[in-house]
Amino acid sequence: MSESSSYHIITFGCQMNKADSERMAGILESLGYGWVEDPNQADLILYNTCSIRDNAEHKVYSYLGRQAKRKQENPNLKLVVAGCVAQQEGEALLRRMPELDLIMGPQYANRLDELLAQVDSGMQVVATEPVEIMEDITKPRRESTVTAWVNVIYGCNERCTYCVVPGTRGVEQSRPPQAIKAEIEELAAQGYKEITLLGQNIDAYGRDLPGISPAGRRQNTLTDLLYTIHDVPGIERIRFATSHPRYFTERLIQACAELPKVCEHFHIPFQSGDNDILKAMARGYTREKYLRIIDTIRRYVPDAALSADVIVGFPGETQAQFERTLELVEMIGFDLLNTAAYSPRPGTPAALWSNQVPEAIKDERLQQLNYLVGRQAAERSARYLGRVEEILVEAVNPRDPGQVMGRTRGNRLTFLPGDIQTLRGQLVSVEITTTRPFSLTGTLINPPVMPVLVA
């Protein structure tokens, strides 16, 4: 590789994929590659792919096709496909697109340097065998200087019948609490203010780690981890995602209520409001159990923001079953809901069932649900009007350079007039003056006093 080699990464998918991209970018920079904004100028292009739904996967193929043509003119161009499509398709991708140099599953993100060394020696590499995830040694190139993702558990041991993730991300592997704490201390030293702990099923954290307390209770749970990392000086806010209703404990809710840095926001996907559909999905809980969790949250943290994921048109879903989802949403009142029409995925059981719901019905249900979600989000936002909220300022409003933006503790995006140079990374008090379904606008009260810089 020459000194001046450049790279570009395109990321699809969830927070976990984004976090993987940041670490892979860090590895590329440690190898001497420099970021270039225009992919058409790059010597190495990495696609970090997602296969959660069909359309996510298709995007990848259309992008790749264009770059494969470029490679025919410029044989030195390196093309890397990482992430969940890479894991799912493996060698088949190479047959479809022989121009590719490297195909690597998510478990290999931290090993990008070893794999590139093989590519540099002239090989085409497919790295999709299950492997122990290497502890993170490279400094990620993080998007933000204020908020950061911290992986705590990789993989997923669940077997939801619609989902590719267990196949693409492999079995659960928890990072040791000391390694997680060390990363957070390092982030605090660099000036980060907020961290989000990540796992596909974060409540499973620690199940694969040793540790039973003298009282016979399992140690190294997510709750224990929150206590372990809570007091890192400099970190002001802690978030975590994604929670699974099956494992969500009262002890965890209690810890969230008790620990001041843990934000009052819970993201707990429920997927369906109907017990028979939940059973067919193999989710392992009932609608009643989900409602009990929400009740417990509201008991400990009355103003908590709630968000979730939900699927409509799962195989066999009747109109009445869909209406039970609507009814559950009505009952709870979500601040935000990620909705999706069921998409049959290769290698998952539900994709093979004969009782698929027609596309037109899925679309109709999705629209109906989205309408409710928008209305509800507007209602939930409205409660902020006139209130003073704590906002952590992250960036400039891309639509208005005179404004900055950040989030409430409940994770509502909030805009306010102000100068990013003064406000970035500051926790400020903002009086909310306008509310919209998914965002707020306000004005600063008691602007922070900037230290006077002496030259």
Specify binding-site residues for [4Fe-4S] cluster: 14, 50, 84, 156, 160, 163
Q: How many CA atoms lie within 13 A of 300 on its CB side?
A: 20
309: partner contacted, choices ligand F3S, ligand SF4, ligand SAH, none (Cβ within 5-8 A by kind): ligand SAH
Q: How far is CA 238 from CA 107, 316, 358, 384, in A?
A: 25, 39, 42, 21
Is the preceding omega at residue 249 within 30 degrees of 0, hence cis?
A: no
Looking at the Cβ atoms of 51 and 307, the one nearer to ligand F3S is: 51
Q: How far is the CB of 161 from ligand SF4 (least distance, A)?
A: 9
50: partner contacted, choices ligand SF4, ligand F3S, ligand SAH, none (Cβ within 5-8 A by kind): ligand F3S
Q: Indicate whether 83 belongs to the interface with ligand F3S (CB under 6 A).
A: yes
- Cα separation of 151 and 148, whole Å? 10
Return the HEC string of 271-295: ECCCHHHHHHCCCCCCHHHHHHHHH
Tell the residue number behind the tokens 């070893």, with chain if given.
Answer: 114
DSSP bridge pairs for 173: 154
166: partner contacted, choices ligand SAH, ligand F3S, ligand SF4, none (Cβ within 5-8 A by kind): ligand SF4
List residues binding ligand SAH (CB under 6 A).
52-53, 162-163, 165, 200-201, 242, 244, 269, 271, 309, 311, 340, 342-343, 345
Rg (CA), the chain: 23
- Looking at residue 350, what DSSP letter applies? G
Q: How far is the CB of 52 from ligand F3S (least distance, A)?
A: 4
Centroid of chain to Cα 150:
11
Q: How far is the CB of 346 from ligand F3S (least distance, A)?
A: 12
Classify residue 83 as exposed, middle or buried by CB count within 10 Å of its CB (0-12, 13-18, 19+). Answer: buried
16: partner contacted, choices ligand F3S, ligand SAH, ligand SF4, none (Cβ within 5-8 A by kind): ligand F3S
- Cα separation of 240 and 258, whole Å? 15
Contact pick of 116, 160, 310, 336 for ligand SF4 (by CB under 6 A): 160
Of all residues in the shown chain, the one whose CB is closest to ligand F3S is 13
Q: How far is CA 127 from CA 113, 118, 268, in A?
A: 12, 11, 32
Q: Indicate whether 269 belongs to the interface with ligand F3S (CB under 6 A).
A: no
- Looking at residue 37, what DSSP letter applies? S
Say if residues 192 and 394 touch (Cβ distance below 8 Å). Answer: no
Centroid of chain to Cα 306:
16
DSSP H helical ranges for 97-217: 112-120, 165-169, 177-189
Q: How far is the CB of 17 from ligand F3S (least distance, A)?
A: 4
Binding mask 243-272 for ligand SF4 (x = CB under 6 A): -x----------------------------
Contact pick of 138, 168, 343, 411 for ligand F3S (by CB under 6 A): 168
Residues 139-158 within binding reach of ligand SF4 (CB under 6 A): 156, 158
Q: What residues have CB less than 8 Å from 43, skipping those under 6 apart?
A: 5, 6, 7, 33, 76, 77, 78
Q: Indicate whether 81 belongs to the interface with ligand F3S (CB under 6 A).
A: no
Binding mask 148-167 for ligand F3S (x = CB under 6 A): ----------------xx--
- As given in the structure block, the two tokens for residue 22 are 């940041």
Contact window for ligand F3S (CB under 6 A) among 46-54, 212-220, 289-297, 425-433: 46-54
Looking at the Cβ atoms of 268 and 430, the one nearer to ligand SAH is: 268
Which residues are at the interface with ligand F3S (CB under 6 A)?
13-14, 16-17, 50-52, 83-84, 164-165, 168-169
Residues that bind ligand SF4 (CB under 6 A): 156, 158, 160, 163, 165-166, 200-201, 244
